[in-house]
A and B are shown apart, each in its own frame.
Chain A
Amino acid sequence: MNAAESAGPTAALTEATTAALTEATTAALTEAAIEAVRAASREGRLATLAEVLAALAAGGHFGPPEGQAEGQPDGQAGNQPEGQAMGQPADHAGPAQAGEEAAAPLASDTASMLPGIPPEVLAGILAAQPDLASFQSLSGQTVYHAPDLLSRTYARILDRKGSPLVLLAEEIRANSRDYPRPVPVELFEAPPFGLTPEEIGHVLQALAADPAHQDITFTTTPAGAVYLFSTRHLERGYAAFLAQRAESLSMNP
């Protein structure tokens, strides 16, 4: 059991808030916060803290937020494009930090949204939920999801969709490392990646030119199929073998 689990949601509340909230209110708040994350996961989206706060406000838990920042969500979460978290900029900057689950600094406008509910309190509540997961998105914000509805793998793909270069590089590396296997280039044309062949081509060119991604490379099977892999995790010869094998599976019933 980790620290957050042992402390429980109530302990995560600040002293002042704890004093202001009854136990029943806290339980309701926790339940509503979880449901807000689960609702987003159900719809194939990642949830930011701002979205959860907005959902709580929309649910009447603490009354309507005063002075809601311009452009902040109003609870109509479904309007966001797939793969883009609420309040998350479309263009991600900076590399993904693989494996992180820690909360990122809260946005100042989020903090001012509901002055009676410190965002850190809500972050603490969410962090304490064993059935929820969070990670720092490419935008730098912490995003939440319910892995039983939206797997960690899929969540990462969604987060990276705004940055095809990171998306391809990290997906190729993960496949080379974990299974291990190279992946057919066509993989990235299909959902949830949904890139055009032209986009994929541009990304691969960019990767080839980027010193940080020199491990990303490809092998071509005798039949001409292109498979992508990372030399950090797969030797070239083995990747070539695995690519040929993958291609032969439909001939080996």
Chain B
Amino acid sequence: MAATPGGFSGKVLRVDLSTGKISTEDTVEKYGDVLGGTGLGYRVLWEEVPPGVGSFDPANKLVFATGVLAGTGVPCNGRTAVTTIFPTCWPRQLVGSGHMGGQFAAKLKYAGFDAIIVEGRSERPVWLFIRDARVELRSAAHLWGTGIRRASLEISQEMGADCVVAAIGQAGEQLAPMAIVANSLSHSAGGVGGVMGSKNLKAIGVQGSGAVKIAGDKGEWEKLIKFHLSILGGNNQHVVPSFPTPQSEYYNPGSRWVGEPGRRWGAAEPPVEITGNIFDLNRIAYRTNSAAFFLGEGAWRHTVRGNGCTACPIRCHTVVKVPSVAAKYGIREVAQNTCTGLLFGRSFFKRLPGGMQGQAALEACMVGMHLADDLGVWCNYGQLQRDLQKLYYDGLLKTKLGAAEYASIPWDKYEAGDPAFLFDILPRIGERRGELGQVLSQGTGGLFTHWSIPEETWARDHNTLYWKQGHPKHHANEDDGQCGVIINTQYNRDSQCHSHSNFVRNGLPLAVQKKLAAEVWGSPDAVDGVGNYTPMNVHKARRARWSLVRKELHDSLGLCNWMGPWVASPLKERGYRGDDSLESRFYSLATGQKLDREALDRAGERIFTLHRALTLRGMGEVDLRAQHDLTPHWVFADPSGAAPFSKGAIRMDEADISRGMDQFYEVMGWDRATGAPTMETYARLGLKDVGADLKARKLVPGDPA
């Protein structure tokens, strides 16, 4: 791939913490074929981190990589992938990525860098100062021991207000596998904070005064951005509002597009009332209110505004103000986050006074954000909280934990649903205090090992939502039948894929979804009604493949796979079609290198296959089908004994899923028996060298073991 005049900033920054050496290399020349983001991270790990290196080994590398479209005007472009040997992957640490939004990606590119490769280990705590081409390692002695907020503030004061800081808290410093790095205070990448801590890297502060150049015609560029805005829905590309409105034929009470005219951001000063046409492109930011969606009607009066990432009009990080928590708990009355971050505190509790959308739930969310976003504790997509519930309510903790420590924990508050319980449990985890803090900070796999709990105990219990390798399901059969199951088998952590779930949850009637499915994936049978699943077919396999490829594409372009892809839209005049070629059109205009949809998808497939190759090499096992692509038992069971494919059952049929894996491997060009890519597939994707390396290791199908 030749150097291009646009999109890429052009340089990758390499920082060796062991030697203090700082260098740069050309992005396009070395990494152009994998675009950036996870693609760049996988490539670095493939070339530079030998199999068997542990997460906290100095030989492990940590790659902060944005993408071609980050820092441009493309909507939803604020993503940074943080790729490394993932510490919570169990029982063997393998490749994985955390993903953060915020303003870090754009600032890094404005400073002239597409990515930062962090390697080695500093002898003393440091933070990385980046002001355009000026890059320095500075002492973090005064920051060590502080939370993310304090560290970010101190560095901001040192650098200036226009910087962005990505920092770890005490959890990362303590090498907790369950640690985050967060930029812009609430935008976190899970699971990688401990790797930063292991390298004695407290934070990265970035200031950039440059810009991202666009190679193509500026008029075309702006026209395409306007078009993209026109096909946006609300949060997670829910293209149907949650309420009937004159502007829309459809509505869906379950939609995350909750911003209805007449609603008020009641805690704004002065309060803001949502007015006007909700389809107006200048009013997109009013559509989403994560707090109201997750916490109910009452959250509107606590809403200050929506916050979010660079160039993203969705604003999914809702800023909420709850004055009562300042007096009651002595914490800040303002907090912001979305999804599991927003619900961090609430999710610990099985029961809360007033229910899961009541005042106690709101306060638990505020306390949770206050603590977790400062200590830098990761929730592993809610698995941390479910683990504690399982341990406690199944009586495991009482038998596993020393009596004195058990007695020291205010379980009465836990059972009563008192948010004050979080002031005990979260610092234990973040600071790794006591046996419970140590264990929970390791993640689910860590607790299996530490307490000799068979993985089966979790994998057979639907309530745990545990999937495999220490991680939970992430939009699996409950949302999307076989497609969701296949996607959840593929990664070394929770799949974090939204390509499929954003489509099935978009709110359009099933007939419209099926019409779009026929156009995009070749058959209306590529999509089922939720809980009305039909046996596996090849169109579902193609959709699973498309979903995964688009996820990697987004992660590598700097786009948000929580918001995209955009194959459906709110536009009746388009028959509710979005645009399946949006990414390639943006890529072509940004870089000046024309790639059609198929060609760019091939890059996404290359990146996904690189992840597969890293997994093969890391496991030293060719039979990923049997050893890696696993589905937990609970997926095949129904509490009421309902048969597979009966209406209202989400349970899957084991033989059908096996057929599904056959079909998925086939559409991927992987060996059906082992689920490993063939030499032909590596060659087709420009990964001959990768295939050759794996062949030498006897990790290509057909080789004698």
Residues on A with beta carbons closer than 8 Å to the beta carbon of B244? 153-154, 157, 191-193
Partner of A44, one of B246, B262, B530: B246
Is A191 within 8 A of B262, CB to CB? Answer: yes
Instruction: Let me know if A241 is at the binding interface, CB within 8 A.
Output: yes
Contact among A152, A180, A237 for B249, CB-based, below 8 A: A152
Partner of B478, one of A41, A178, A192, A245: A245
Whether B409 is near chain A, meaning CB under 8 Å from some CB there, is no
A246 with B647: CB separation less than 8 A: no
Query: B245 and A242: CB pair below 8 A?
Result: no
> What is the distance, in angstroms, from B623's C-beta to the closest C-beta of chain A?
32
Question: CA–CA, A166 to B246, complex, Å?
Answer: 20
CB-defined contacts of A75 to chain B, threshold 8 Å: none
Contact pattern, B 213-249, Cβ under 8 Å of A = 1, otherwise 0:
0000000000000000000000000000001111111
| Contact (Cβ within 8 A) A180 B510 | yes
CB-based contact A240/B648 at 8 Å: yes
Cβ–Cβ contact B248 & A151, under 8 A = yes
In the complex, per-residue mask of A175-195: 1 if CB is within 8 Å of any chain B CB, else 0: 000111101100100111100
Interface size, B (range): 35 or more
The 0/1 profile, CB within 8 Å of B marked 1, for residues 56-74 of chain A is 0000000000000000000
Closest to B508 in A: A179
Are A246 and B294 in touch, CB under 8 angstroms? no
Is A249's CB within 8 Å of the partner chain B? yes
The residue from B246, B509, B532 contacting A149, defined by CB atoms under 8 A apart: B246
Q: What 1/0 mask marks residues of chain B from 490 to 530 whose CB sits below 8 Å from any chain A CB?
A: 00000000000000010001110000000000000000011
Number of residues on chain A facing chain B (CB within 8 A): 36
**DSSP majority for the B interface?**
loop
Would you call B246 and A180 a contact (CB within 8 A)?
no
- Given contact pairs A179-B509, A183-B253, A241-B648, A253 touches B260 in the complex (Cβ within 8 A): no
- Rounded to whole angstroms, the CA-CA distance of A149 and B262 in the bound complex is 18
B340 to chain A minimum Cβ distance, whole angstroms, is: 5
Q: How far is the CA of A235 from the CA of B530 in the complex (A)?
A: 14
Given contacts A44-B246, A153-B244, contact A245 B530 (CB under 8 A): yes
Residues in A with CB closer than 8 Å to B479 are: 252
The answer to whether B248 and A242 touch across the interface, beta carbons within 8 angstroms, is no
A150 within 8 A of B: yes
CA distance in complex: A240, B254 (Å): 15
Task: Indicate with 1 or 0, residue by residue over B346-375, a CB within 8 angstroms of chain A CB atoms.
Answer: 000000000111000000000000000000
| In the complex with contacts A153-B244, A245-B531, A178-B262 CB distance below 8 A | no
B-contact 0/1 string along A128-149, CB 8 Å cutoff? 0000000000000000000111
CB distance from B272 to the nearest CB of A (A): 18
- The verdict on A242 contacting B246 (CB below 8 Å), with A153-B251, A178-B511, A179-B510 known, is no
Whether B530 pairs with A178 at a CB distance below 8 angstroms is: no
CB distance from B553 to the nearest CB of A (A): 23
Q: Which of these, A151, A180, A249, contacts B254 with CB under 8 Å?
A: A249
Contacts A151-B249, A154-B246: A246 and B262 contacting too (C-beta < 8 A)?
Answer: no
Report the 5 A-B pairs with minimum CB-CB distance, sorted nearest first. A241-B648, A253-B339, A238-B647, A178-B509, A238-B648
Beyond contacts A41-B246, A179-B509: 13 other A-B pairs, Cβ-Cβ < 8 A, are A148-B572, A152-B249, A153-B250, A154-B246, A179-B252, A180-B529, A191-B262, A241-B648, A241-B649, A242-B531, A250-B293, A250-B357, A253-B339
Can you list 14 contacts pairing A with B, beta carbon distance less than 8 Å?
A147-B249, A151-B246, A154-B248, A178-B511, A180-B510, A180-B529, A187-B253, A235-B648, A238-B647, A250-B293, A250-B294, A253-B294, A253-B338, A253-B340
A residues at B contact (CB < 8 Å): 41, 44, 147-154, 157, 178-181, 183-184, 187, 190-193, 223, 235, 237-238, 240-242, 245-246, 249-253
